[in-house]
A = this chain, B = another copy of it.
Amino acid sequence: MKAVVTVMLKAGVLDPQGKAIGHALNNLGFAQVGEVRAGKIIELELAETDPAAAKAAAEEMAKKLLANMVIESFKVEIAV
């Protein structure tokens, strides 16, 4: 079973990587680009066969290692 964990900086936390990407796109001629936020995506192959157990395990992993809960939020999706 595959779990996909998406980690983004919380709203209000300065995102220098996103700002740099936004400026680079503007400089390349993409004037329509406004705010840009950059994040991480982690795809986990899990041995669990129960979707609820897989989701709970992935959330625990996110809290313990994958996300810094002070400045980041995360979302777990289970791919069936």
Please report A residues at the B interface, Cβ cutoff 8 Å.
6, 8, 18, 21, 24-25, 28, 30-48, 57, 60-61, 64-66
> Contact check: which of B8, B35, B41, B61 meets A25 at CB < 8 Å?
B61
* Residues of chain B with a CB closer than 8 A to A48's CB: 32
Copies in the complex: 2
A44, chain B: closest CB distance, angstroms: 6
Knowing A37-B42, A42-B37, the reply to whether A32 touches B8 (Cβ < 8 A) is no
In this complex, what residue of B is CB-closest to A30? B61
* Residues of chain B with a CB closer than 8 A to A41's CB: 6, 8, 38-41
User: Do A36 and B40 have beta carbons less than 8 Å apart?
Assistant: no
* Residues of chain B with a CB closer than 8 A to A28's CB: 61, 64-65
